[in-house]
A = this chain, B = another copy of it.
Amino acid sequence: MEIEVKFRVDFNSLRAVIEALGASFVREEVQEDVYFSIPLPELLRVRRIPNLGKTFLTYKRIADPGRNEEFDELEVEVSDFETTVEILKRLGYKEDVIVRKRRLVYRLNRVTFELSEVEGLGGFLDIEVISDDVAEAKREIWEVARKLGLSEKDVEPRLYQELIRERT
């Protein structure tokens, strides 16, 4: 299970705070996410990462709809973005929302930080732990979140694609 909490943040100031905390920089990704029209709590996405030359097909099921912090995720790398999108279209799925972002990934022990500048939406930080122990994962997430100066009022429970859809 992928456990993550999303916070609204200022990209540059959080970057400095994460680095000061001692987290290791893992990689930078430019992400172009195409979400297909399947009903929540399921998500179907093709993610292109042009700066790494990689594309992923991802299925997620939200285990806590509304809060959107617990995800059952299945992902494979695929060899071609356009062909994968076209296969899904042929199968009857429609392109729903496209989310574009620049993301810096950091790691501190079991915790992954995904600091993103999302096109049209601003800065966000996803703090993520992969674990089957949801309570323990959330404890770890909130422990570092507090160290970064984040609190419950900074949480953004909506999905990126929901935020994009509300905006348009």
Q: A residues engaging B (CB < 8 A)?
A: 38, 42, 44, 57, 59, 61, 74-80, 83-84, 86-87, 90-91
How close is A46's CB to chain B, nearest CB, in angstroms?
10
Chain B residues with Cβ under 8 A from A77's Cβ?
A: 78-79
How close is A76's CB to chain B, nearest CB, in angstroms?
5
5 contacting pairs across A/B (C-beta < 8 A):
A76-B79, A76-B83, A76-B87, A77-B78, A77-B79
How close is A57's CB to chain B, nearest CB, in angstroms?
7
Chain B residues with Cβ under 8 A from A44's Cβ?
A: 91
Q: Is the CB of B42 within 8 A of A57?
A: no
- Specify which of A59, A74, A77 lies most central, judged by the most chain B CB atoms within 10 Å of its CB: A74
Q: Is the CB of A59 within 8 A of B78?
A: no
- Specify which of A38, A42, A87 lies most central, judged by the most chain B CB atoms within 10 Å of its CB: A87
Chain B residues with Cβ under 8 A from A83's Cβ?
A: 74-76
Q: A74-B86, A76-B80, A76-B87 are in contact. List 19 more A-B contacts (CB 8 A).
A: A38-B91, A44-B91, A57-B84, A57-B87, A59-B87, A59-B90, A59-B91, A61-B90, A74-B83, A74-B87, A74-B90, A75-B83, A76-B78, A76-B79, A76-B83, A77-B78, A77-B79, A78-B78, A78-B79
